[in-house]
């Protein structure tokens, strides 16, 4: 079968690899129907987390080919979506969908290690299937379902954990697809204003079209602009969806006294210089979230099925799996107005 393999930094190849199989009695074999590239894949693509030989991809949906003896929630032939993050599958946390706090320290992300190959491939083995997959309801398309495997749940939890109350001023920093979803989910909580921060003009324009007030951070003055726009008060809730040192720092600095800062961007800097005195003097609540994807499905599926959310609108590029190297290059370079890339494993 073909899979997207990371050979080294910025070196992607679509390679013939041994066929995936059912990974054990609790697992299933999935034929992948659609898969997407994520900002998180870029941490592997250009460092600091490069894993040579990894089969990439944690955002995928498909059709069940075969199940292990202990799988009870789905059967062969079912269309399913898979949480990009899984746990052991048997502890109380995993059974509640809260896979990130797996009591057996079993939290894993597809496509980030040699032990758990990813789904940017024709097929993939899915362990702990009963706690990590969802049969896709008829009202949800494959393209919508792909976005339920990671980034819409992440944006949703980023907004939920920002403690937004009606009338609040919200700041969203980073307007990639994760930030766009954080913005749309923040709107579910009734803020009076959302200020949306990025460096890329077309991303700022997209946020404005969604009803937010764009703040251009390209000159490094985002925090001052946020204070100007809020009469010197700052934001009641801040959602950070970049993961850079600079943007996390900005999130803390632009928060009003008593605010909540909710970080969903991935930062891998063990020596991040956290401005504790600022957080102390403003009595901030600081939250950082790796998303327990399955906990969000019961809220997000009805929001999509009813037409309240149209997540598929983030896909700007649809390409074949065979074009993965070019897809990664364009996505990383933010060329051609790209926001999110969908890959079709049949081409």
Ligand X SMILES: NC(=O)c1ccc[n+]([C@@H]2O[C@H](COP(=O)([O-])OP(=O)(O)OC[C@H]3O[C@@H](n4cnc5c(N)ncnc54)[C@H](O)[C@@H]3O)[C@@H](O)[C@H]2O)c1
262 binds, among Zn ion, ligand X, none (CB under 5 to 8 A by kind): none
Q: What are phi and psi of 126, to 5 degrees?
A: -120, 105
> Cα–Cα distance between 159 and 180 in angstroms, integer?
11
Handedness of CA 77, 80, 85, 89 (dihedral sign): negative
Query: Which of 44, 56, 71, 94 forms a contact with Zn ion (CB under 5 A)?
Result: 94
- Nearer to Zn ion by C-beta: 12 or 222? 12
**CB of residue 343 to ligand X, shortest distance in Å:** 15
> Cα–Cα distance between 119 and 108 in angstroms, integer?
14
Would you count residue 88 as binding Zn ion (CB under 5 A)?
Answer: yes
Left if phi > 0, otherwise alpha if psi is -120 to 50, otherwise beta: which for 219?
A: alpha
Residues that bind ligand X (CB under 6 A): 38-40, 43, 150-151, 154, 173-179, 197-200, 203, 217, 241-244, 246-247, 264-266, 289-291
- Nearer to ligand X by C-beta: 124 or 339? 339
The alpha-helical segments, DSSP class H, found in the chain are 39-45, 92-95, 129-132, 142-146, 151-160, 177-187, 201-209, 222-229, 245-253, 276-281, 297-305, 324-333
**CB of residue 151 to ligand X, shortest distance in Å:** 5
87 binds, among Zn ion, ligand X, none (CB under 5 to 8 A by kind): Zn ion
Would you count residue 87 as binding Zn ion (CB under 5 A)?
Answer: yes
Q: Which stretch binds Zn ion (CB under 5 A): 17-25, 85-93, 194-202, 284-292?
A: 85-93
**CB of residue 185 to Zn ion, shortest distance in Å:** 16
346 binds, among ligand X, Zn ion, none (CB under 5 to 8 A by kind): none
154 binds, among ligand X, Zn ion, none (CB under 5 to 8 A by kind): ligand X
CB of 257 within 8 A of CB of 267?
A: no
Query: Which of 35, 40, 83, 236 forms a contact with Zn ion (CB under 5 A)?
Result: 40
Would you count residue 150 as binding Zn ion (CB under 5 A)?
Answer: yes
Would you count residue 217 as binding Zn ion (CB under 5 A)?
Answer: no
Would you count residue 4 as binding Zn ion (CB under 5 A)?
Answer: no
Query: Which of 102, 175, 186, 229 forms a contact with Zn ion (CB under 5 A)?
Result: 102
94 binds, among Zn ion, ligand X, none (CB under 5 to 8 A by kind): Zn ion
88 binds, among Zn ion, ligand X, none (CB under 5 to 8 A by kind): Zn ion
Burial class (CB in 10 A: 0-12, 13-18, 19+), 155: buried
The alpha-helical segments, DSSP class H, found in 166-217 are 177-187, 201-209
Residue nearest to ligand X (CB): 176
> 253, 248, 239, 256: which is closest to 180 by C-alpha?
239
Would you count residue 33 as binding Zn ion (CB under 5 A)?
Answer: no
Chain-centre distance of CA 312, in angstroms? 14
> Which of the residues 51 through 70 are near Zn ion (CB under 5 A)?
59
Would you count residue 130 as binding Zn ion (CB under 5 A)?
Answer: no
Rg, the chain, Cα only: 20
Residue 228: other Cβ atoms inside 10 A: 11
């Amino acid at each position: 079968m073909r899979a997207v393999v990371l050979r080294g930094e910025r070196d992607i190849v679509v390679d013939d690899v041994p066929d995936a199989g059912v990974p054990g009695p609790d697992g299933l074999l999935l034929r992948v129907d659609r898969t997407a590239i994520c900002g998180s894949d870029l941490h592997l693509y250009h460092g600091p987390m490069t894993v040579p030989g990894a089969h990439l991809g944690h955002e995928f949906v498909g059709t069940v080919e075969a199940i292990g003896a202990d799988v009870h929630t789905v059967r062969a032939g079912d269309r399913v979506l898979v949480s990009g993050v899984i746990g052991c599958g048997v502890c109380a946390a995993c059974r509640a969908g809260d896979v990130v706090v797996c009591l057996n320290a079993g939290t894993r992300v597809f496509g980030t290690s040699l032990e758990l190959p990813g789904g940017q491939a024709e097929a993939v083995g899915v362990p702990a299937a009963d706690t990590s997959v969802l049969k896709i309801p008829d009202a949800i398309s494959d393209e919508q379902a792909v976005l339920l495997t990671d980034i819409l749940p992440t944006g949703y939890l980023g907004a939920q954990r920002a403690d937004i109350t009606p009338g609040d001023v919200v700041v969203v920093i980073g307007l990639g697809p994760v930030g766009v979803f954080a913005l749309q989910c923040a709107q579910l909580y009734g803020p009076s204003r959302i200020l949306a921060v990025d460096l890329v003009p077309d991303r700022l324009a997209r946020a404005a079209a969604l009803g937010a007030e764009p703040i251009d951070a390209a000159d490094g003055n985002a925090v001052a602009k946020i204070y100007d726009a809020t009469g010197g008060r700052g934001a009641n809730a801040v959602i950070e969806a970049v993961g850079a040192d600079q943007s996390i720092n900005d999130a803390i600095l632009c928060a009003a006294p008593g605010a909540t800062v909710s970080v969903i961007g991935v930062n891998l800097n063990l020596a991040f210089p956290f401005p504790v005195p600022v957080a102390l003097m403003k009595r901030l609540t600081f939250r950082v979230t790796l998303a327990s994807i399955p906990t969000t499905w019961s809220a997000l599926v009805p929001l999509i099925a009813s037409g309240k959310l149209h997540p598929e609108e983030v896909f700007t590029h649809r390409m074949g799996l065979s074009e993965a190297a070019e897809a990664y290059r364009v996505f990383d370079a933010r060329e051609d107005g790209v926001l999110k890339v969908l890959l079709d494993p049949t081409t």
